[in-house]
Amino acid sequence: MRIDILTLFPEMFEGVLGASILGKAAEKGIVQYRVVNFRDYSESKHGTVDDMPYGGGGGMVLKPEPLFNAVEAVSEQAKPRVILMCPQGKPYRQQLAEELSQEQHLVLVCGHYEGYDERIREHLVTDEVSIGDYVLTGGELAAMVVVDSVVRLLPGALGNERSAVADSFSTGLLEHPHYTRPPEFRGWKVPDILLSGHHANIEHWRLKESLRRTMERRPELLDQIELTPEMKALLAELEEERKNSGRAKD
Ligand code: SAM
């Protein structure tokens, strides 16, 4: 996969793209990053990229020419997916990360200042993505979130392939709890079943705990997946446990 990031602050990406799994993925040749300062594609002598909004008002607006020129320069042959970082965009979710991880070439556009000339939205980009209902000073942090969540899904990027498949949201549920050694710490014990070595029972326990966590923290996710008979039975058990603990409190 190739990922081009168009930004006015390329230095912000140095640490992030060179470290840990993102850095290793590039070393292994799984992904190639290119961070492009779109000021280099300005058509003005002084490298201007923004201007005052027509109609007045505060803040500066990113001009269309530098971004159109930069996207066209990195696009070469096939048409890439061009993603605008934008608080008004589609809320970013694991499903979109999975979809983007199937692409050959992504171009991420990081805004700054008040906004973009609307023609960028209408005629240049294929997607607009928001990483949450809050406003950042620029799209760089949002682009890093997208790159990180996509690259970790590329085959070979994670040491343990299984870990991406079982992650929260990939299954439609939140992930089950994890424990490691020691088996007892300050009097708090690891659940016996995890020490039993019985894989089928462990998987059943994990599914139940995953459902418990989802039910407690993000119940709306349960409406978005197709429940298997095993899940339905476990949810009934959890409901029964909840009622019993309510009765015990009374
Ligand atoms: N005036 C804009 C508005 O109200 O929609 C906000 C502009 S913001 C100060 C500057 C840039 O930061 C945006 O163009 C976008 O690239 C990025 N940005 C801010 N919040 C974001 C979010 N939640 N998700 C993705 N990008 C964001």
Nearest residue CA, atom 23 of ligand 1? Answer: 87
The answer on 203 and 93 residing in a single domain is: no
Rg (CA), the chain: 23
Please report the atom of ligand 1 found closest to the CA of residue 111.
16
Integer angstrom CA distances of residue 3 from 71, 87, 121, 216: 12, 21, 20, 37
**What CATH code is carried by the domain that includes residue 104?**
3.40.1280.10
Residue 165 placed within a domain: no
In a domain, 166, yes or no: no
Question: What per-residue confidence (pLDDT) applies to 58?
Answer: 86
Q: How many domains does the chain have?
A: 2
Q: Are residues 122 and 211 in the same domain?
A: no
Question: For residue 30, is it within any domain?
Answer: yes
53 exposed, middle or buried (CB, 10 Å; 0-12, 13-18, 19+)? middle
Question: What integer pLDDT is reported at residue 163 of this predicted model?
Answer: 72
Candidates 65, 114, 128, 175; catalytic one: 114
Determine phi and psi for 81, rounding to 5 degrees: -80, 120
Quick one: pLDDT at residue 162?
64
Residue 237 lies in a domain: yes
pLDDT of residue 247: 80
SS3 146: helix
Which portions of the chain are predicted below pLDDT 50?
none
Strand order in the sheet with 105-109: 32-37, 2-7, 105-109, 81-91, 127-130
Q: Residues 62, 119: one domain?
A: yes
Same domain, 35 and 122: yes
Q: What span, in angstroms and rounded, lies between the C-alpha atoms of 246 and 216?
A: 15
Do residues 27 and 111 share a domain? yes
Residue 92 within a domain: yes
Mean pLDDT computed over every residue of the chain = 95
Sign of CA dihedral 38, 43, 48, 51: negative
Say yes or no: 16 and 114 in one domain: yes
Chain centroid to CA 113? 23
What backbone torsions phi and psi does residue 11 show, to the nearest 5 degrees?
Answer: -65, -20
* 24 and 66 co-located in one domain: yes
Ligand 1 mutation pick, 136, 146, 149, max ligand atoms within 8 A of CB: 136
User: Are residues 116 and 33 part of one domain?
Assistant: yes
Whether residue 160 lies inside any domain: the answer is no
My answer on whether 37 and 142 are in the same domain is yes
- Write down the pLDDT at residue 170: 83
In a domain, 32, yes or no: yes
Handedness of CA 210, 212, 215, 216 (dihedral sign): negative
pLDDT of residue 198: 97
Distance 38 CA to ligand 1 centre (A): 17
| Cβ(101)–Cβ(148) below 8 Å | no
Whether residue 127 sits in one domain with residue 239: no
Domain containing 229 equals 184-249
- Say yes or no: 121 and 73 in one domain: yes
Residue partners of 74: CB distance under 8 A and separation at least 6: 4, 6, 34, 36, 80, 107
113 and 202 co-located in one domain: no
Residue-wise pLDDT for 1-34, tens only, equals 999 999 999 999 999 999 999 999 999 999 999 9
| CATH number of the structural domain spanning residue 222 | 1.10.1270.20
- The closest residue, in CA terms, to atom 24 on ligand 1 is 130
| Domain assignment of residue 40, yes or no | yes
